Every structure is written in C-alpha cells, then in structure tokens.
C-alpha cells in the first residue's frame, strides 16, 4: 500500500464519524496525517465561537476516530473562520461549506 493509499484509508475512517456532528456554525474540517510520527491533526473552523455542544460533537469525531485507529495519536484544533489561511495546505478536507463570495 502506498503512502497516499494509507492516508486515504485513514481519511475514510474519520469521515464516517462526521454524520450528525455538523452544525450551521461549522465552516470546515481539515485533516493532516503524518505517517512516520503516527500522528493526525483534525482542524475545525467555526464561523463564531463554538458552543459547548459543538465542542463535544467535534470531540466525538476525534474520540471515535481514535478508537478505530489505535496506532495513531489524533490531535484536534479549533479555530475561527476569520483565522483561516486560504493558502494553507492540508492533506484532506473532511467537511466544507459552499461559499459564494
């Protein structure tokens, strides 16, 4: 299995835990995978400060994903959309809203 295939299989694991976790405040979720370090980073961007419920829903995605990928450490980051760098590179987009700017 190639490196890209391994990353894609990890992406698919995370993707299946997104169901019922999306709120109208959630703008994007990105995934970065570092295979040599066995580390993954899920970064969520919210339009406004996330509520406690939204934080719990995002934590559910991270926790459930980590339970199915025990060899990897999954870290989570939460940021506001205004801090989104459109030039930043991520391995995968897990979720994104359509923006008609």
Looking up residue 23, the CATH number of its domain turns out to be: 3.30.70
Q: How many domains does the chain have?
A: 1
Query: From CA 45, how far away is CA 27, in angstroms rounded?
Result: 5
pTM > 0.95: yes or no: no
Question: For residues 42-67, b (16+ Cβ closer than 10 Å) or e, as one string?
Answer: bbbbbeeebeeebeebbeebbebbbe
Query: Does residue 101 belong to any structural domain of this protein?
Result: no
CA 78 to centroid of chain Cα atoms? 10
Residue 52 is part of which domain span?
3-96
The 3-state DSSP class for residue 27 equals strand
Tens of pLDDT, residue by residue over 23-82, are 999 999 999 999 999 999 999 999 999 999 999 999 999 999 999 999 999 999 999 999
């Amino acid at each position: 299995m190639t490196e890209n295939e391994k990353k894609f299989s990890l992406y698919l694991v995370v993707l299946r835990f997104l169901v019922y976790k999306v709120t109208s405040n959630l703008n994007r979720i990105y995934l970065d995978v570092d295979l040599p370090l066995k580390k993954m980073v899920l970064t969520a961007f919210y339009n406004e400060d996330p509520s406690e419920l939204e934080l719990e829903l995002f934590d559910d995605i991270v926790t459930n994903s980590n339970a199915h990928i025990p060899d990897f450490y999954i870290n989570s980051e939460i940021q506001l959309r205004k801090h989104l760098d459109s030039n930043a590179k991520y391995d995968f987009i897990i979720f994104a809203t359509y923006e008609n700017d």
